[in-house]
Structure 1
Amino acid sequence: MQTLAPVFEAIERAAHRIHEAITNEDTDYSAHSNQSGDVQLKLDIQSDLIIAEEFSRIPLVKAIASEEKEEEEILHEGGQLCIAYDPLDGSSLIDVDLSVGSIFGIYDGEWSAQKMIASVYVVYGPRTEMVTAYKNNVRHYTWRHGRFKELEQIKIGEKGKLNAPGGTQQHWPSHHKQLIDGLFAEGYRLRYSGGMVPDLHQILLKGGGLFSYPGTTDKPDGKLRKLFEVFPFAFVYEMAGGAAVDEKGNRLLELPCSDPHETTPCFFGSTYEIGKVKAAYGAE
Structure 2
Amino acid sequence: MTEIISAIEKIAIEIYEAIKTKDTGKVESQNASGDVQVKLDVISDEIVEKYLLNVSSVREIISEEKEKPITKNSGKYLVAYDPLDGSSLIDVDLSVGSIFGIYENDYKGSDIKAAVYVVYGPRVEMVIARDVVEMFRLNEKTHEFYFVKELKLKEKGKILAPGGTQKNWYPFHKEMIDNFFKEGYRLRYSGGMVPDLHQILNKEGGLFAYPATTDKEKGKLRKLFEVFPFAYVYKKAGGEAVDGYRDLLSLDYENYHDTTPCFFGSKEEIRKVLNTYKENK
Aligned to 1:258: 254
Q: Distance in 1 between matches of 2:279 and 2:108?
A: 24
Q: Distance in 2 between matches of 1:283 and 1:268?
A: 19
Aligned to 1:141: 136
Pair 1:163-2:160 in alignment: yes
CA contact (8 A) 2:151 2:204 kept: no
Quote the offset at 1:77 in angstroms: 1.2
Pair 1:215-2:212 in alignment: yes
Q: Distance in 1 between matches of 2:210 and 2:53?
A: 33
Pair 1:83-2:109 in alignment: no
- Equivalent of residue 236 in structure 2, options 227, 236, 239: 239
Aligned to 2:108: 112
Percent identical: 55
- Equivalent of residue 184 in structure 1, options 171, 177, 181: 181
Secondary structure of 2:278's counterpart equals: coil
Structure 2: unaligned runs, 5 residues or longer: none
Q: Distance in 2 between matches of 1:66 and 1:173?
A: 31
- Equivalent of residue 223 in structure 2, options 223, 226, 243: 226
Residues 50-69 of structure 1: per-residue CA shift (max 9 Å, x gap): 00000111111100011100
Pair 1:174-2:177 in alignment: no
Pair 1:36-2:42 in alignment: no
Letter in 1 for 2:238: G
Aligned to 1:152: 149
Q: Distance in 1 between matches of 2:244 and 2:43?
A: 35
Letter in 2 for 1:64: I
- Equivalent of residue 203 in structure 2, options 199, 202, 206: 206
Secondary structure of 1:13's counterpart equals: helix
Quote the offset at 1:228 in angstroms: 0.2
What TM-score does the superposition give when structure 1 sets the normalisation length? 0.96
Quote the offset at 1:36 in angstroms: 1.1
CA contact (8 A) 2:86 2:97 kept: yes
What TM-score does the superposition give when structure 2 sets the normalisation length? 0.98
Letter in 2 for 1:103: I
Q: Following superposition, which runs of at least 4 residues in structure 1 exceed 4 angstroms of deviation?
A: none
- Equivalent of residue 263 in structure 2, options 247, 263, 267: 267
Residues 223-258 of structure 1: per-residue CA shift (max 9 Å, x gap): 00000000000000000000000122x000000111
Quote the offset at 1:101 in angstroms: 0.1
Q: Distance in 2 between matches of 1:61 and 1:153?
A: 27
Aligned to 1:18: 15
Q: Distance in 2 between matches of 1:283 and 1:247?
A: 11
Q: Distance in 1 between matches of 2:145 and 2:50?
A: 20
Letter in 2 for 1:119: A
Q: Distance in 2 between matches of 1:141 and 1:55?
A: 20
- Equivalent of residue 194 in structure 1, options 177, 191, 200: 191
Aligned to 2:127: 131
Structure 1: unaligned runs, 5 residues or longer: none
Quote the offset at 1:12 in angstroms: 0.3
Q: Distance in 2 between matches of 1:259 and 1:132?
A: 26
Residues 36-59 of structure 1: per-residue CA shift (max 9 Å, x gap): 111100100000010000011111
Letter in 1 for 2:54: R
Q: How many residues are matched?
A: 278
Could you tell which deviates more after superposition, 108-117 or 122-131? 108-117
Letter in 1 for 2:14: R
